[in-house]
Amino acid sequence: MSSTPRYSFSQLYLWSASRAQLFAVITKGIDIASAFFILAVLSVHDYGLYQLILAAVSITGSLTAGLFDDVISNELARALAERRIGWAKRLFGEFFTTRLTMSIAMAVLLFLGAGLVAQYYDKDIASYIRIMSVMVVFNALNVVQVFFFRAKVSFAAFGASVLQVALRLVFLVAFWTAATLSLREILISTVLATAATALYTGFFFVREYRALFRGVAASSGWVISGLVRRFGRWIFLRYGVSRVFKGVDMWLIRIFINTEAVAIYAFTINLITFAHSLIPTGMLGTLLPWEAGEWQRFGYIYRRMVKYGFWFGLALAGGAAVFVPFAVEIFFPKYLPAMRIFYPMLATIPLYAVYKFQKTFLVVLREQKMLTMRLVTEGLITLAVLVLLLPVIGLYAAALMYLISYGGRVALYTVFLGRKYPELRLKPRHIVSFDAEDWMLVGRAIRELVHPERWLKPIKSRV
């Protein structure tokens, strides 16, 4: 049973989600400014090297992450919410030690293997990879700190991403002003900005870690191994299936249609994905573990989040239907044919919002089996739809596949959650009806958005 909430969920969600979206927009804008310097300075050859180096760091880092991240994040938050502080200290200690040890080992491997990479790509790439190899460690440190802050529901270093990209831009401008900006300086700027940001977040991390765990004895025994035994078979299966089906849609379109169709499809997916990113779904995973066990409150949050997600997604889809075609005609006229499949795929936007919220509830409820079986079933259906219909109706088959995927997810999760957890039963009236409480929440959202002095200080509301 989680501790009795001492805060307003709606206020805290509005505070954190609005801040997260704002920081994401600022980060993207600064990234675009940085890209101006990078593209202006680098030749096509050097820009290709730059992408290869980033890919090498990304691939190396991915070997130490991803599999159990959502499980560990959820279990850590739930342990803190249930006041199992000793167990949480043990879990975080194991996670921190394991992730950092693996990242250091992979960074050393990348550093020592740079010469081998250079033999197959370019002789100049080895020294550049060695500069960037330390990023594997920095990225791992960032992950473990983010996990700790999320579990504690702390926003102490919430704007760290903005700081990192801003510092990087400052370094780029400084090198450019000194007329020394080249690929080496671009990489050095990235490392310096990341190191400075790690010091910034590390200060808050150490302070809050001591405040939470000082004087607390860690539980005995290895706890991560227990999580692996409990969820491992489903997580490993989901990971394998996702790798098998990753990118298969692109290749099937190439086989059954042509390369130009792949470009049209990829452009459309980028537009839809951008729309998906505007839906504030991320912060629910931070706050929801603290509500587990409070079933009446849990069900209330579930129905409200699904309702608001659907209508927000529907409004976003309507806006995209009006404005995106005009923008494409002005800036990307050669991709106007993409609008044929863009319009039907707009229906996935409200479905995506509902799906993401439902998935968060499933993760918090530890329903790893359902998450895995959905992926396996969906992968097979996707493959069948594309193989059977691409030769017949062309790219409309890809649009249909997308609709079936998201529609199937929402239908499956709605039925499963409603049957297994009566408090999460969802009926059509829960989506279409707006009562006095809904309008009260809308009014609160407006008041808080236009009067930031009324927003909560959420750090004080948690452990």
Summarised one tens digit per residue, pLDDT across range 381-390 is 888 999 999 9
pLDDT at 155 over 50: yes
In this prediction, residue 49 carries a pLDDT of 80
User: Domain boundary residue among 181, 216, 251?
Assistant: 216
Residues 237 and 186 in one domain: no
Weakest mean pLDDT among 64-68, 403-407, 456-460: 456-460
Q: Does any domain span residue 62?
A: yes
Residues 415 and 332 in one domain: yes
- If you count them, how many residues does the chain have? 463
Residues 275 and 391 in one domain: yes
Q: Average pLDDT, stretch 168-182?
A: 90
In this prediction, residue 294 carries a pLDDT of 79
Confidence of residue 235 (pLDDT cuts 50, 70, 90): confident
In this prediction, residue 118 carries a pLDDT of 67
Q: Does any domain span residue 5?
A: yes
Confidence of residue 350 (pLDDT cuts 50, 70, 90): very high
Evaluate whether 208 touches 152 at the Cβ level (below 8 Å).
yes
In this prediction, residue 18 carries a pLDDT of 75
Residues 201 and 273 in one domain: no
Residues 208 and 252 in one domain: no
Number of domains in the chain: 2
Weakest mean pLDDT among 4-18, 363-377, 386-400: 4-18
User: Domain boundary residue among 173, 190, 216?
Assistant: 216
Q: Does any domain span residue 211?
A: yes
Q: Does any domain span residue 459?
A: no
Q: What is the pLDDT of residues 13-22, one digit of tens each?
A: 877 777 787 7
Residues 156 and 303 in one domain: no
Q: Does any domain span residue 462?
A: no
Contacts of 363 (CB under 8 A, 6+ apart): 70, 71, 74, 285, 371
Which range of 200-209, 438-447, 454-463 scores highest in mean pLDDT? It is 200-209
Residues 262 and 325 in one domain: yes
Q: Does any domain span residue 225?
A: no
Residues 245 and 175 in one domain: no
Say what the pTM is: 0.77
Q: Does any domain span residue 460?
A: no
Q: Does any domain span residue 461?
A: no
pLDDT at 172 over 90: yes
CA 276 to chain centre: 11
- CA distance to 86, 92, 332, per residue, from 225 (Å): 17, 13, 51
User: CA angle at residue 355 from 351 to 358, to 5 degrees?
Assistant: 140
pLDDT at 402 over 80: yes
CA dist 162 and 172 (Å) reads 15
Residues 288 and 160 in one domain: no
Q: Is 154 left (phi over 0), alpha (psi -120 to 50) or beta?
A: beta
In this prediction, residue 187 carries a pLDDT of 93
Q: What is the residue range of 128's domain?
A: 1-216
Residues 139 and 252 in one domain: no
In this prediction, residue 431 carries a pLDDT of 86
Residues 207 and 246 in one domain: no
For residue 59, give the nearest of 233, 248, 243, 277 by alpha carbon.
243
Which range of 11-20, 237-246, 339-348 scores highest in mean pLDDT? It is 339-348
Contacts of 389 (CB under 8 A, 6+ apart): 396, 397, 400
- Which residue is it, tokens 């948690």? 462
Which range of 11-15, 244-248, 335-339 scores highest in mean pLDDT? It is 335-339
How is residue 65 written in tokens?
A: 């992450």
Confidence of residue 361 (pLDDT cuts 50, 70, 90): very high
Q: Average pLDDT, stretch 408-432?
A: 91
Contacts of 188 (CB under 8 A, 6+ apart): 131, 171
User: Domain boundary residue among 216, 247, 264?
Assistant: 216
Residues 204 and 333 in one domain: no
